[in-house]
Amino acid sequence: MDEGNGTRPPPPSPPAATSTPPWTINSCQRDPQIFAGLRGEEVEDMFDNRGRVSAFNRWEESHKLLNVVF
């Protein structure tokens, strides 16, 4: 500090804020079963499975659409 003219150095800038997500993933994401349309496979079972997997993975609607295979 220069006491001769009374000026002070600027205060140090605060540390950069780190962005932390409001949630953490403690387990692996589950993959939905693959539906091939073969004899013995039911479409309703596939929809039920995808509903359970999307709830477990906490997928929003956009994530659900990203995981549909055409």
Q: Over the stretch 3-29, which tens digit does the pLDDT of each residue have?
A: 556 788 888 887 776 777 777 667 788
The neighbouring-strand residues paired with 7 are 2
Q: Which two tokens stand for residue 46?
A: 């596939």
Distance CA 7, CA 46 (A): 72
Instruction: Tell me the three-class secondary structure of 43-64, residue by residue.
Output: HHHHHHHHHHHHHHHCCCHHHH
- Asked if residues 49 and 32 have their Cβ atoms less than 8 Å apart, the reply is yes
Q: What is the mean pLDDT of residues 35-42?
A: 86
